[in-house]
């Protein structure tokens, strides 16, 4: 959800009477922004992690007295969004407010809630510095209003990106190991079907891949190959029509996985189109 939730940190007499203390934002009101994010749909649906982040950040804001007179605390939540990029509705809204110099401080529970890519993280920090926004991270005790805090943020951003790349490498290695053993991994590639956790050859699809490789080697264009596949009655993996871009995807997968010479082989675990 991209809308900010306004939180009143003061427990005044109105609150004591049980009435709402949510303030109506004005165009000139300065904000202390709390940003929360979780990456999976399951977490987003259940609220796991989000409420914990929110509670920790609000407690931090109150402990440090960041919300003074005339300052609102607003919570921004991106539920079900990855930290791999900055294309997130709540973060985009927050950036717009920072650009308008409406935000005095940004608080997150952990650095990776904001971004796992060092380039994106440093770009966000540059924006905050240029707009006079102090960045606070609860877990890592970072405060970019100090030189030490800025140095710590840069180092933690490097490690966050390192962790992200390690996950990618482990995933690629696991997929490669499954392919080598003929085990299925996600969707079955063109030329095979998954049966009880293993790939088994689909003769018609293997023939289609063979045709693509042979005709490409003979100099045929992608569009010509797509037309020939259609004329021969071959369908895509999803039962659709062949197009030049679809042929290109299949051939790139075969070339990437180094299986061009083995597509017709009975070792269906090595079919990689």
pLDDT at 254 over 70: yes
| 271: Cβ contacts below 8 Å, ≥ 6 apart | 189, 190, 191, 192, 199, 201, 206, 209, 259, 262, 263
Mark whether 39 is an active-site residue: yes
pLDDT at 17 over 60: no
> How do 30-38 and 71-79 pair as beta strands?
parallel
Residue among 256, 255, 250, 240 nearest 273 (CA):
250
Express each pLDDT in 1-14 by its tens digit.
Answer: 555 666 655 433 33
pLDDT at 260 over 50: no
pLDDT of residue 8: 53
Token readout for 172 is 């690629």
CA distances 111 to 97, 137, 142, 162, 226, Å, are 20, 6, 9, 13, 47
Query: Active-site residue among 20, 39, 184, 204?
Result: 39
Express each pLDDT in 261-271 by its tens digit.
Answer: 333 333 333 34
CA–CA gap between residue 151 and residue 140 (Å, rounded): 12
CA–CA gap between residue 28 and residue 23 (Å, rounded): 13
- Among 45-59, 150-164, 171-185, 236-250, the range of highest mean pLDDT: 236-250
Express each pLDDT in 142-192 by its tens digit.
Answer: 777 677 777 776 776 677 667 767 877 887 787 777 667 656 555 667 776
Whether residue 109 contacts residue 52, with contact meaning beta carbons closer than 8 Å, is answered with yes
């Amino acid at each position: 959800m991209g809308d900010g939730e306004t939180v009143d940190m003061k427990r005044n007499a109105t609150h004591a009477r049980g009435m709402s203390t949510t303030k109506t934002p004005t165009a000139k009101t300065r904000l202390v922004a709390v940003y929360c994010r979780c990456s999976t749909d399951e977490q987003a649906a259940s609220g796991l992690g989000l409420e914990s982040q929110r509670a920790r950040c609000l407690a931090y804001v109150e402990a440090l007295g960041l919300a003074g007179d005339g300052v609102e605390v607003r919570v921004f939540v991106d539920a079900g969004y990855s930290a791999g990029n900055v294309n997130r509705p709540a973060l985009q809204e927050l950036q717009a407010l920072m650009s308008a110099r409406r935000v005095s401080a940004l608080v997150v529970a952990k650095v990776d809630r904001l971004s796992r890519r060092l380039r994106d993280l440093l770009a966000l920090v540059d924006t905050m510095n240029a707009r006079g926004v102090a960045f606070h991270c609860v877990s890592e005790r970072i405060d970019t209003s100090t030189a030490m805090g800025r140095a710590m943020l840069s180092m933690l951003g490097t490690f966050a990106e390192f962790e992200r790349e390690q996950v990618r490498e482990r995933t690629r290695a696991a997929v490669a190991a499954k392919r080598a053993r003929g085990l299925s991994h996600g969707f079955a590639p063109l030329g095979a079907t998954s049966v009880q956790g293993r790939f088994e050859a689909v003769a018609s699809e293997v023939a289609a891949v063979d045709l693509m490789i042979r005709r490409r080697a003979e100099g045929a264009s992608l569009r010509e190959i797509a037309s020939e596949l259609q004329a021969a009655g071959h369908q895509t993996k999803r039962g659709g029509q062949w197009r030049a871009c679809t042929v290109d995807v299949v051939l790139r997968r075969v070339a990437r996985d180094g299986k061009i010479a083995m597509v017709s082989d009975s070792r269906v675990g090595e079919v990689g189109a």
